[in-house]
């Protein structure tokens, strides 16, 4: 069957083998779109390599599910991997932190056999939750064993829990691994109210985590990520930008924009608090951290 204008018949093109289809449909202009996303992240990383900035932000970058040979999970190309390869031209120890509610599987897969890139992913991990990977025992392979860390929480995690464990894990990794640069993926689907998420976190919680990293004065790349409540994702990334730039924000959403009505009913920067059942016990979260700390010692991370 001939594809209609603006669409590409995935089966006719043989592109199903490359991951296009259900969540990565083909359409006119998709190559240029993916190239722009990847190019923007690579340019951001090049800015750091050349010392033109200490912090660079690309909210369009974030496609952490794409693999080397196929698109996956709404991600057509892994711009993060391409950006980190640019950073490798200058930096020998790169820390990648994934704050998206989904496991950063594509990035971990790309670097799980090397010590030069340390991948750290905080994500929801339950039966049936995409992509189904990223347990505590998943810590890399071969020479990269121990240089991938996953903190798999359950649905309903709160800010006080998340920030506490983030600080404990990340501070230890930075102290042990001694990274020279950091890339943080700030997926908006980790914010409460996201239709594809399941956490009870708010911008202030994730901003506190980012500021914990910033205290170590590392060159920093901030990238976007998933986010399917578009108004809340916009609020989240705006608040991060303001915090990084040390700017105060008005509570009121400016009314001179085309999307003003999307921020109702209160039209403020604040995200409505939600009541959610928290399935994370202290025993479970402590067990995850203990396993992470055990692996860091077992594989003598940072000794190279």
Q: Choose the catalytic residue: 64, 65, 67, 102.
A: 65
Q: What angle do CA 98, 162, 247 make, to 5 degrees?
A: 75
Q: What token pair was written down for 247?
A: 């700017």
Considering Cα of 116, then 92, then 177, then 95, what sign does the dihedral take?
Answer: negative
Residues contacting residue 67 through CB under 8 Å, at least 6 positions apart: 19, 78, 106, 109
Per the annotation, the verdict on 64 as an active-site residue is: no
Angstrom distance (rounded) from CA 197 to CA 202: 12
Angstrom distance (rounded) from CA 144 to CA 112: 5
What Rg value do the Cα atoms of the chain yield, rounded? 19
Alpha carbon distances (Å) from 7 to 1, 25, 29, 32: 12, 9, 10, 15
Q: Which residues are catalytic?
A: 65
């Amino acid at each position: 069957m001939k594809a209609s204008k603006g669409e590409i018949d995935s089966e006719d093109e043989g592109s199903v083998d490359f991951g296009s289809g259900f969540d990565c449909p083909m359409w006119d202009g998709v190559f240029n779109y993916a190239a722009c996303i990847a190019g923007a992240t690579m340019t951001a990383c090049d800015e750091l390599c050349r010392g033109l900035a200490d912090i660079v932000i690309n909210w369009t970058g974030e496609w952490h599910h794409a693999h080397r040979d196929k698109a996956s999970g709404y991600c057509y190309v892994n711009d993060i991997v391409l950006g980190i390869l640019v950073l490798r031209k200058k930096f020998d120890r790169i820390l990648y932190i994934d704050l998206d509610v989904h496991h950063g599987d594509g990035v971990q897969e790309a670097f799980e056999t090397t010590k030069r890139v340390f991948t750290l992913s905080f994500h929801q991990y339950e039966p049936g939750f995409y992509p189904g990977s990223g347990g505590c025992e998943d810590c890399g392979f071969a020479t990269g064993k121990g240089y991938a860390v996953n903190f798999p929480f359950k649905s309903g995690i709160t800010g006080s829990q998340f920030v506490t464990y983030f600080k404990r894990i990340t501070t230890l990794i930075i102290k042990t691994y001694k990274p020279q640069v950091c890339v943080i993926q700030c997926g908006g689907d980790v914010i409460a109210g996201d239709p594809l998420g399941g956490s009870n976190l708010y911008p202030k919680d994730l901003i506190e985590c980012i500021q914990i990293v910033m205290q170590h004065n590392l060159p920093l790349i901030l990238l976007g990520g998933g986010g399917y409540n578009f108004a809340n994702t916009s609020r989240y990334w705006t608040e991060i930008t303001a915090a990084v730039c040390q700017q105060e924000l008005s509570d009121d959403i400016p009314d001179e924009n085309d999307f003003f009505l999307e921020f109702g009913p209160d039209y403020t920067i604040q995200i409505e608090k939600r009541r959610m059942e928290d399935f994370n016990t202290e025993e479970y979260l402590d067990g995850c951290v203990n396993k992470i700390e055990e692996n860091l010692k077992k594989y003598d991370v940072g000794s190279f």
